[in-house]
Every structure is written in structure tokens, then in C-alpha cells.
């Protein structure tokens, strides 16, 4: 089944998380009016698998850079993954659009949806949201990633049989 690629908007992505963008975002001036703060565009979710985690090894939010090779199309979406213990945010750094594939459902993926994100739109997958790993376009692209480091199983994969097809452009 071929996935229809929709433009990414805050409203269309709301069931899966937040779109990190300045467009129509709440902002206020800081630093004596020299900086506009687009405030709390998304929240980092951090969960513990069990409550007896000590202070030393409790989970924490980390910031990484993912350098993603461009995918080749048509592309077969044959798996999705989810992170039940934490959110995961991707902010594009290379000035290129990219594709986002997510699915409804908790225990297993339900309805899949595909979006095209502009070079100035980031996404924050809420904890437990099914998504496909990065789908970079045109060239190798860097993404700033904010997600969870900690104990417990925080990456669950599910194979899609039959796979879905992404046709681009």
C-alpha cells in the first residue's frame, strides 16, 4: 500500500507529538529585547521503567547529532519503532526537507501516516509513538536529537508485513 505524503502541520501531527517551528508559536522578547524566545515548543518526556531507580542511575535527557544518509525512493517502510520511556525530538540542521512516518496505536502500529517536513520544522515524537527512523532526502543531513538515556527497554521495533511504499517526489 502506498502512503500519501501530507504537509506537516501542528494540527495534523498533534496525535503523535509536536512540530518544533516558529510559525504561529507563542513567543516573547528576552535579553533586553534583542532576542525573541519561542517558548516551550515541545516537552521532553522522561519515564522510568521501575520506581526503584536510584538517583545515580535515573534517566536523563541527552542531546545528540544524527548524520542521516539520504534514502532512495520508492522506499519500503517495513518496520516502525517506539520509545515507551521517553520522547524523541529531531531538528534539521542541514537546510533540507525530510520525511516523517508515524502510526497510531499503542501495542502495535495502527494507521500509518506520512508527512513531509520543511527544513525549518522539527518534530517531537511523544513517548510511545510509533515512527520510522530518520528519512533524509536529497543528501546526507544532520539532525539535532533530544531523547532519553537511561535504563530499561526504550526501543521496541515492529515489522510491517506487508510493507508500505513511500514514493517521492
Ligand X SMILES: NC(=O)N[C@@H](O)C(=O)O
Binding site for ligand X (CB under 6 A): 81, 88, 131, 133-134, 155
Partner whose footprint covers residue 123, from ligand X, Ni ion, none (CB < 5 to 8 Å by kind) = none
Longest pairwise C-alpha distance within the chain: 56
Whichever of 25 and 66 has its CB closer to ligand X, that residue is 66
Peptide bond into 168 cis (omega under 30): no
Distance in Å, CB of 22 to ligand X, minimum:
23
Q: At a CB cut-off of 8 Å and minimum separation 6, what does 18 contact?
A: 10, 41, 42, 43, 123, 124, 126
Of the ranges 28-36, 38-46, 83-91, 138-146, which one interacts with Ni ion (CB under 5 A)?
Answer: 83-91
Min CB(39)–ligand X separation in Å:
25
Nearest-CB residue for Ni ion? 88
Q: Which of residues 74 and 133 has its CB atom nearest to ligand X in the complex?
A: 133
Sign of CA dihedral 115, 110, 19, 66: negative
Q: How far is the CB of 26 from ligand X (least distance, A)?
A: 27
**76: which residues sit within 8 A by CB, 6+ positions away?**
163, 164, 165, 166
End-to-end CA distance of the chain: 17
Shortest reach from residue 33's CB to ligand X, in Å: 38
Comparing CB distances to ligand X, the nearer of 25 and 79 is 79
Q: Min. distance of Cβ 52 from Ni ion in angstroms? A: 26
Q: Grid cell 530518520 — which residue?
A: 134
Q: Tell me the window of 11-19, 38-46, 86-94, 113-121 that interacts with Ni ion (CB under 5 A).
A: 86-94
User: Which positions lie near Ni ion, rule CB under 5 A?
Assistant: 88
Amino acid at each position: 500500500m502506498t502512503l500519501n505524503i501530507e504537509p506537516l502541520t501542528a494540527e495534523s501531527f498533534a496525535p503523535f507529538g509536536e512540530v518544533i517551528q516558529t510559525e504561529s508559536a507563542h513567543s516573547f522578547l528576552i535579553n533586553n529585547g534583542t532576542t525573541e524566545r519561542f517558548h516551550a515548543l515541545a516537552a521532553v518526556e522522561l519515564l522510568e521503567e521501575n520506581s526503584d531507580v536510584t538517583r545515580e542511575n535515573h534517566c536523563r535527557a541527552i542531546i545528540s547529532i544524527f548524520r542521516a544518509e539520504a534514502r532512495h525512493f520508492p522506499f519500503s517502510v517495513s518496520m516502525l519503532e517506539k520509545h515507551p520511556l521517553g520522547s524523541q525530538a529531531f531538528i534539521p540542521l542541514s537546510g533540507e526537507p525530510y520525511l516523517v512516518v508515524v502510526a497510531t496505536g499503542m501495542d502495535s502500529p495502527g494507521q500509518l501516516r506520512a508527512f513531509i517536513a520543511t527544513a525549518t520544522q522539527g518534530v517531537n515524537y511523544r513517548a510511545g509513538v510509533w515512527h520510522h527512523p530518520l528519512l533524509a532526502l536529497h543528501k546526507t543531513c544532520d539532525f539535532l536529537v533530544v531523547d532519553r538515556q537511561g535504563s530499561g527497554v526504550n526501543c521496541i521495533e515492529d515489522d510491517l508485513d506487508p510493507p508500505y511504499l513511500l514514493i517521492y517526489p
